[in-house]
Structure 1
Amino acid sequence: MKLAYKLYSKENPEGNSNPPDQANILILHGLFGSSKNWVSIAKKLSLYGDVYTVDLRNHGDSPHSEEHSISIMVEDIKEFVQDHSLQNTILLGHSMGGLVSMLYDLLHPGSLKALIIQDISPRPYPFAYDKEIRSMRIPIDRANTRAEVDELMREVLPDAFIRQFLQMSLERKPDGGYFWKLNVEGLSKARYMFEDVFLPDMSSRTKALFIVGGDSPYIKDLDRELILSVFLKAEIETLAGGGHYIHYTHASQFLDRIERFIKGVLD
């Protein structure tokens, strides 16, 4: 599948294109997200190379499909890397995008320069997003304003932060009303996408940084042991007080840690 993306090019003093010894940084968003979630981070990371923020299938401007799994998204990313002739690639993935990034690395050993994973572990996760799906199934095709859409969603999904996150994929129709760019029905049928992704004997020697939220429900004590047993050159950084969206809630600390890691990888 040909994925939609945004490119944030590295600007060199001579005005030349990105030299081959620089990094290509590929950012993969989480479930219900898109490339829109990573604009600020991408702009700052373009100091170190070309940055590609990708819309995974069924998200953003990428095509919709009835097929949605971690393994098939790995194939999409493989196609993307080949189509753009990317070398010295650093994969940065959040949540679902982190699972895709980890599996890509494990299935293509030695192909990545480095791996950066935000708040997810190489294990099965339940599909705990029924409220999100229900809130996006509410008819909004005749809503007049975003505030009206938000009020409708609030009855199903009380968490204002999550509603705002979802509404980044909300678009207004030319003739009035709104629609979701997300493939809501397709994603609702992919309830098992987070299960049986990783095999017990998988391991990687890619340089890796795992950044996790200190208060995140996605990372348990056993996850830290698991990460280090699978990714043999990994380091884990915990952002105190952070949850699952630390690239937003703790953006400065998040970016600072990533920059230090990338500098070390490129030295």
Structure 2
Amino acid sequence: MKLFYRQVGLGGPNVFLFHGLYGNSLNWASIAQSLSKFYQVFSFDLRNHGHSPSSSFMDYFLMAEDIRQTAEPMELFPVHLIGHSLGGKLAMVFALSFPQWVSSLVVVDIAPVDYGKEAVEEHFKMLEAMRSLPLADLKKRKEAEVLLLKTINNKTLVQFLLTNLIYQSERYVWRINLEGIRASIEKLNAFPALHACFPGRTLFIAGERSNYLEASSIHQLSFYFPKATLVKIRDAGHWVHFEKPKEFLEVLIPFLKERK
């Protein structure tokens, strides 16, 4: 599957940016613009998200193949990979599958682990709330927010989810494929068993207030990524690059510029 992407920057090494679940390429807009001074930056909409095609199922191998099919004809490899959350897992799987095409790897606030049954149930709850919205009856976006808040008690999260609700042909529609994501959520919540390691430079950036990268994950990190280093951004939660962009770039740019 060939994906939609946004490109900024006219020269320098290539950087690929992968968004998280329920996100899209615009989540990286500010960081992409900052990196474009030094790099040619490609921000992708992953399958079932944004402007990219939909499918009934998605897993990390299919998504890695989407990236390969989109980028290989343009001769963009090797690249620096940067991924947040779901996009971080995709970046890891891509680096483990195609290490020869990856100059360096940056994983933002996610680990190569299964996050368990409770996390899956939380996603099912969110997806059901989104699927249950009476889209044909909605007159304003605010109505959707009020309805979602009855089930999802987190205004910031609800507003993030609603970035996928667009007004089209005189009615509101979801820009993400809720059914395809729902059918895939257990695979996306887990991490595939890969008997490989990525020998290149790897940086994990975590939010200090996030619990996605716990001490118990360190063994898995070093198994797959023996050259990995971990940096925690102070006072940041899961959306590290959005909450603390300046601090994020202060860690990211020196790493990307490092010599092998």
TM-score (norm 1): 0.90
The residue number in structure 1 matching 2:83 is: 93
The residue number in structure 1 matching 2:136 is: 141
> What secondary structure is seen at the aligned counterpart in 2 of 1:115?
strand
| Residue 181 in structure 1 maps to residue 171 in structure 2 | no
- After TM superposition, give the deviation of residue 24 of structure 1 in Å: 0.5
| Residue 218 in structure 1 maps to residue 218 in structure 2 | no
The residue number in structure 2 matching 1:252 is: 246
> What secondary structure is seen at the aligned counterpart in 2 of 1:232?
coil
Alignment counterpart, residue 24 of structure 1, candidates 14, 17, 21: 14
Structure 2 regions of 5+ residues with no counterpart? none
Alignment counterpart, residue 54 of structure 2, candidates 49, 58, 64: 64
The residue number in structure 1 matching 2:27 is: 37
The residue number in structure 1 matching 2:192 is: 197
- After TM superposition, give the deviation of residue 196 of structure 1 in Å: 4.9
- After TM superposition, give the deviation of residue 88 of structure 1 in Å: 3.3
| Residue 163 in structure 1 maps to residue 153 in structure 2 | no
> What secondary structure is seen at the aligned counterpart in 2 of 1:129?
helix
| Residue 236 in structure 1 maps to residue 230 in structure 2 | yes
**Runs of 4+ with deviation above 3 angstroms:** none
- Tell me whether 208-217 or 127-136 shows the greater mean CA deviation: 127-136
> What secondary structure is seen at the aligned counterpart in 1 of 2:76?
coil
Letter in 2 for 1:85: E
Separation of aligned partners in 2, 1:114 and 1:51: 14
Which has the larger helix fraction?
2
- After TM superposition, give the deviation of residue 244 of structure 1 in Å: 1.1
- After TM superposition, give the deviation of residue 246 of structure 1 in Å: 0.8
Asked if 1 retains the 8 angstrom alpha-carbon contact of 2:9 and 2:38, the reply is: no
Separation of aligned partners in 2, 1:178 and 1:256: 39
- After TM superposition, give the deviation of residue 87 of structure 1 in Å: 2.6
Provide Cα deviations, 1:169-201, integer angstroms capped at 9, x if missing partner. Answer: 1100232x31110001111111221335132x3
- After TM superposition, give the deviation of residue 148 of structure 1 in Å: 1.4
> What secondary structure is seen at the aligned counterpart in 1 of 2:184?
coil
Separation of aligned partners in 1, 2:90 and 2:202: 14
| Aligned residues with identical type, % of pairs | 31
Asked if 2 retains the 8 angstrom alpha-carbon contact of 1:123 and 1:198, the reply is: no
The residue number in structure 1 matching 2:9 is: 9
Aligned Cα root-mean-square deviation (Å): 1.5
Letter in 2 for 1:8: V
Structure 1 residues 101-116: aligned runs within 5 Å: 101-116=91-106
How many residues of Structure 1 are paired with residues of Structure 2 in the alignment?
254
TM-score (norm 2): 0.93
Letter in 2 for 1:27: L
